[in-house]
Amino acid sequence: MGLGSSWRVVYESYKKIVKFYERANLLVTFGNVDRWRREAIGLFYQLDGKNPLRVLDAGAGPGNMARHIRGVKYVVALDATAEMLRANDVADDKVVGLFEYMPFRSRCFDVVLAGYSLHAAVDFEKAVAEFSRVAEYQVAVSIGKPDNIIARGLLYFYTRYILPRLACIVAPRGVCDEYGKIFVIVKSQMPNSLVKRTIEKYATSLVFKTRGLGGVYMYVAKSRR
């Protein structure tokens, strides 16, 4: 499962929102957007302990995920949208490309990071298989879909009726309208339990957690050789 043909719509959105992106994200997640990125990376440090040297930031956008990796590092930012990469001041190298067809040799990274990007995969399983091929560890935080039916209903309501209005407080009309598409994204996701099972086909899941009623999941996994 994945966004399939809706992906074009989402891709166009990224081009438009880049300027107001983090400000709107902060509001619609009630201040949690970066805390959850840091939490996912913190989980990785707790499990592995050492600073990764070779880092791939997948769906890097402005680099908000790799920013939290400490110490000396070599960061490659991969993104399908050149406009988002242009705003990236963290990466040593920038590559326009897709998760599903990564232009990298196997195991050339210590860790692949994916901050709020996996939900936009055209083919989720292929993306995770590629993450497992190119890096030893994967650390992701992403929009999810709760397994619990009540939580799912609440999330649908929030993303359909409230979230786009909140985004409009900090972003101009043409931009905040794009946040209306988050409802489409949430609906198109597989449930979080199936996300975990799919990851486990290619990697050993070390930790998998949900936040915000299950509207966000984060995981750390060690790829299988």
Contacts with ligand SAM, residue ranges (CB under 6 A): 14, 37, 59-61, 64-65, 78-81, 84, 98-99, 115-117, 120-122
Task: State the minimum distance, in angstroms, from the CB of residue 166 to ligand SAM.
Answer: 16
Task: State the minimum distance, in angstroms, from the CB of residue 150 to ligand SAM.
Answer: 27
Q: How far apart are CA 67 and CA 75, in angstroms?
A: 10
Instruction: Give whichever of 76 and 80 is closer to ligand SAM, judged by the CB atom.
Output: 80
Q: How far apart are CA 38 and CA 10, in angstroms?
A: 25
Instruction: Give whichever of 65 and 155 is closer to ligand SAM, judged by the CB atom.
Output: 65
Please enumerate in sequence order all residues whose Cβ is within 8 A of that of 180, keeping only pairs 6 or more positions apart, or say none: 160, 164
Instruction: Give whichever of 42 and 148 is closer to ligand SAM, judged by the CB atom.
Output: 42
214 touches 153 (CB < 8 A): no
Task: State the minimum distance, in angstroms, from the CB of residue 66 to ligand SAM.
Answer: 8
Q: Which helix (H) or strand (E) holds 8?
A: helix 7-17
Q: Which two tokens stand for residue 49?
A: 């302990």
SS3 68: helix
Q: How far apart are CA 116 and CA 62, in angstroms?
A: 12
Please enumerate in sequence order all residues whose Cβ is within 8 A of that of 207, keeping only pairs 6 or more positions apart, or say none: 43, 47, 218, 219, 220
Instruction: Give whichever of 114 and 221 is closer to ligand SAM, judged by the CB atom.
Output: 114
Task: State the minimum distance, in angstroms, from the CB of residue 34 to ligand SAM.
Answer: 8
Q: Which residue has tokens 């975990």?
A: 196
Instruction: Give whichever of 22 and 148 is closer to ligand SAM, judged by the CB atom.
Output: 22
Task: State the minimum distance, in angstroms, from the CB of residue 77 to ligand SAM.
Answer: 9
Quickly count: other Cβ atoms within 10 Å of residue 94's Cβ.
19
Q: How far apart are CA 84 and CA 11, in angstroms?
A: 10
Task: State the minimum distance, in angstroms, from the CB of residue 223 to ligand SAM.
Answer: 18
Q: How far apart are CA 61 and CA 19, in angstroms?
A: 11
Instruction: Give whichever of 93 and 204 is closer to ligand SAM, judged by the CB atom.
Output: 93
